[in-house]
Chains A and B, each alone.
Chain A
Amino acid sequence: QIQLVQSGPELKKPGESVKISCKASGYTFTDYAMHWVKQAPGKGLKWMGWINTYTGKPTYADDFKGRFVFSLEASASTANLQISNLKNEDATTYFCARNNYYFDYWGQGVMVTVSS
């Protein structure tokens, strides 16, 4: 069955970096783009951008240009999100989602806590 399994919760200090992974299984990884979605505590969903899993080309929403990097380990069917120079506002939950012109499968989400 199709699954997206994300890495575990993270506790980081301001200014540090974090790398979140999203491992896909049950389908051909390179056939579907992977998107990333942010959800602040008690808030709605915000689209962050996507990565072409065939070419590796990332596209970022305006609010996520600069400190956010999407990458792949295609041989491991894994998409990654790295956030550098963490800020308090980065303390939230991040989801990966498989794109089929809609998000048909989602990861379970990764909660990132930023605290000094």
Chain B
Amino acid sequence: DIQMTQSPASLSASLEEIVTITCKASQGIDDYLSWYQQKPGKSPQLLIYDATSLADGVPSRFSGSRSGTQYSLKISRPQVDDSGIYYCLQSYSIPYTFGAGTKLELK
């Protein structure tokens, strides 16, 4: 199984910062990597797919990138509404695997 090591587990950021969340895959996943935001009591929402493509309706302050087997989600000048838990997902091979999640708090 492919392991997705996500970090950090939590972070607190100001509205002026650039927030970066990373997921490192235990092996190559050919950019079959997506990012999701989940708010309390809600289902996850797709932010980024294919590692770097922005999902429909997602603000351009969200972006995705890759370096080797490490994938990153960047939020530039986050808004208060960006608080929540962020997950990565590899869909390269079965079983699909999620990262453990990053809880983002905006201060």
List chain B positions with a Cβ less than 8 A from chain A.
32, 34, 36, 38, 42-46, 49-50, 55, 87, 89, 91, 94-101
* Residue A57, interface by CB 8 Å: no
SS class, residues of chain A in contact with chain B: strand
Would you call B43 and A47 a contact (CB within 8 A)? no
| Cα A35 to Cα B95 with chains together (Å) | 11
Shortest beta-carbon distance, A103 to chain B, in Å?
6
Contacts of B97 in A (CB 8 A): 47
For the A-B complex, the count of residue pairs with Cβ-Cβ distances under 8 Å equals 53
Which size bracket describes the interface of A in this complex? 20 to 34
- A45-B44, A107-B43 are known contacts. Are A102 and B89 too (CB-CB below 8 A)? yes
List chain A positions with a Cβ less than 8 A from chain B.
35, 44-47, 49, 59, 61-62, 95, 99-104, 106-109
- Nearest A residue to B48, CB-CB: A102
Would you call A44 and B96 a contact (CB within 8 A)? no
Q: Choose one: B42, B50, B95, B100; the contact of A102 (CB below 8 Å).
A: B50
Would you call B98 and A106 a contact (CB within 8 A)? no
Would you call A44 and B50 a contact (CB within 8 A)? no
